[in-house]
Amino acid sequence: MLEKFKRKVFYLGGFDPRGVRFYHQLYREQAARHGVLTGQAVDVSARRAGPAGASVSAAWTVANPQAGVETDYEYLRWEDLVGKVWIRNPLSLALRAARAYAGHVRHMDFGRMRRLRKGPVITILYPPVLAVLIPLLLALAPALLLALLIPFWAAALAGVALSALLSGRILAKLVVPWLLRFMTYHHALAADGPGPDLDARLDQFAARIAQELDGDWDEVQLVTHSAGTILGMRLMRRLLALRGGALPGHFTMLGLGQVVPVIGLRRDAAWYQDDLRALSDQHFRYVDISSPPDGAAYYNVNPFRLVADHHAARVEMLSPRFHLFYEPENYHGGWSNKYEAHFDYLRVGDRLSPMDLISLTAGRRTVDEAIAAFRMIP
């Protein structure tokens, strides 16, 4: 009989108001896919409030009896703070996004960003362009055609009405509103800092992780995804401070779809660059898993090298190589799938990868063993 392998996972997600219900269900669905591929039934329990209270985290148990693995999975909650700044009115979103992009133009080091990765620069810049061009073209084209048959004022009204009817759906399909919200929020975050509410929440997260590091765990993971990779660095600084700069060897921080340069390359975000500089002197394990086709992520961009020439952390930069694990018809490549590609880090493909989230959190391998197995795949 296998000796039980006990793992603690803390998950810090991105800028998403859907919150714990969505991500718990997604984990359950992907665990079922993992079970089909491996023959190992992975049981995911119902959600419960985390030890620090339901407003701080939610938790569930992941049991993989055949592999002898039990994982306590804790979802670190900040969707309530996202909900407070989630802009729902389209006009308000347009006005605030315009101000935010003006701030990004003033303060973002786009030259350095482009040298790091061109894809995310395009992803950042295309939403405001499309937000203007698509409604304009949808209004102008029918108005000009109808003007041949009816008075111009009537044709113009018809064009505006058609644009209002269709442009929202097209822009949503291209993920333009979400990206505008993302950039608007992160402009404010860079310029003004996290603020007392978010900083207090990060303090609570750090305290929770610190409490568990000396627990009866074979492995402890801090998994960050998307905008969670930005906050994860500030969280790590707090965690290291609580632990006197020393973390146990069985702790690993993972960054999935890392977007740290969105703040790290803002000239006015001195507070965040201070966090990165402080971390660059600390010893801990960091694994970055970012996909080159993911237009939002910074593949092979070491976040600590944004501010320092050297770092003490043990860093590994990997591509998840999604194309190897999906059938062509299911692979999220191309412009139409940029949003879905950014969530493939949380999914199980058509073939099992040692680096998918379920394998990392419910499988028998440690993170380092999973990386070794992944590197053996031709």
Domain boundaries, the chain: 5-82+197-375, 88-188
Q: Is the pLDDT of residue 333 over 70?
A: no
177 is written with which tokens? 């509103």
Confidence of residue 159 (pLDDT cuts 50, 70, 90): confident
Length of the chain: 378
Rg (alpha carbons) of the chain, rounded to whole number:
22
Residue written as token pair 């333009």: 176
Bridge partner residues of 222 (DSSP): 10, 253
Closest by CA position to 75, among listed 11, 13, 7: 11
DSSP summary character for residue 51? T
Residues contacting residue 234 through CB under 8 Å, at least 6 positions apart: 194, 202, 272, 275
Residue-level pLDDT at 1: 63
* Contact of 154 with 335, CB cutoff 8 Å: no
* Contact of 43 with 34, CB cutoff 8 Å: no
CATH 3.30.450 assigned to 5-82+197-375: no
Q: Helix or strand or coil: residue 42?
A: coil
101 is written with which tokens? 């992009």
Averaged pLDDT score across all residues of the chain: 93
313 is written with which tokens? 């952390």
- Rounded average pLDDT over 137-141: 82
Q: Which of 266-275, 327-336, 357-366 has the lowest mean pLDDT?
A: 327-336
Distance of alpha carbon 144 from alpha carbon 52, whole angstroms: 61
Residue-level pLDDT at 174: 80
Q: Is the pLDDT of residue 102 over 90?
A: yes
Q: Which of 73-87, 123-137, 305-319 has the lowest mean pLDDT?
A: 123-137
Per-residue pLDDT reduced to its tens digit, 199-227: 999 999 999 999 999 999 999 999 999 99
* Contact of 77 with 367, CB cutoff 8 Å: no
CB atoms within 10 A of CB 177: 19
Amino acid identity, position 135? P
- Rounded average pLDDT over 348-363: 96
* Contact of 262 with 229, CB cutoff 8 Å: no
- Rounded average pLDDT over 115-144: 84
Residue written as token pair 């070491």: 302
* Contact of 123 with 257, CB cutoff 8 Å: no
| 281-286-292-294 Cα dihedral, nearest 10 degrees | -110
Query: 229 phi and psi, to 5 degrees?
Result: -70, -30
Distance of alpha carbon 292 from alpha carbon 312, whole angstroms: 26
For the ranges 160-169, 174-183, 360-369, the one whose mean pLDDT is highest: 360-369
Q: Please tell me the pTM assigned to this model.
A: 0.94
Q: Which of 32-46, 84-98, 129-143 has the lowest mean pLDDT?
A: 129-143
Residue written as token pair 């700044």: 85
* Contact of 221 with 10, CB cutoff 8 Å: yes
- Percent helix, strand and coil across the chain, each rounded to 5? 55, 15, 30
* Contact of 58 with 12, CB cutoff 8 Å: no
* Contact of 131 with 316, CB cutoff 8 Å: no
Closest by CA position to 227, among listed 173, 266, 183: 183
109 is written with which tokens? 């080091």
Per-residue pLDDT reduced to its tens digit, 233-271: 999 999 999 999 999 999 999 999 999 999 999 999 999
Residue-level pLDDT at 148: 79
375 is written with which tokens? 């590197």
